[in-house]
Amino acid sequence: MIRVIAIVTAKPGRREEILTAFRANVPAVRAEKGCIEYGPTIDAEGFGSFQAKMGPDTFVVIETWTDADALKAHAVAPHMAAYGEKTKDLIASRAIHILSPT
């Protein structure tokens, strides 16, 4: 099993535009062979000072894939290329962490 944590920071004030495109792409991703989990998350509210917030322009994508081949196929899927093209000018930064269980 492969887990992915992708931290996406939008240009100021543009997060919702990216999330709209992201949500439209989710059904195609979830239909991919090997996709177990795929979805965006934002800061939860009401947890006090111990929470390190990412801020209003950032969201985190949490993904789980059956194996590395499934993730590699996802990365080159046509719908991912289309999503990347739609959002490239809205993104300030992106960090993708690919993890395996120990």
pLDDT, tens digit only, all 102 positions of the chain: 999 999 999 999 999 999 999 999 999 999 999 999 999 999 999 998 889 999 999 999 999 999 999 999 999 999 999 999 999 999 999 999 999 999
pLDDT of residue 68: 97
Does a structural domain hold residue 88? yes
The total number of structural domains that make up the chain: 1
Structural domain boundaries, residue 19: 2-43+55-99
Q: Which residues pair with 64 in a beta bridge?
A: 3, 37
Q: What is the largest CA-CA distance in the chain?
A: 42
Give the chain's end-to-end CA distance (angstroms, integer).
10
Does a structural domain hold residue 79? yes
Residues 6+ apart with CB under 8 A from 55: 9, 43
pTM of the model: 0.92
Does a structural domain hold residue 19? yes
Does a structural domain hold residue 34? yes
- The two three-digit tokens of residue 101, written as one number: 């269980």
Does a structural domain hold residue 49? no
CATH number of 73's domain: 3.30.70.100
Is 18 within 8 Å of 10 (Cβ atoms)? yes
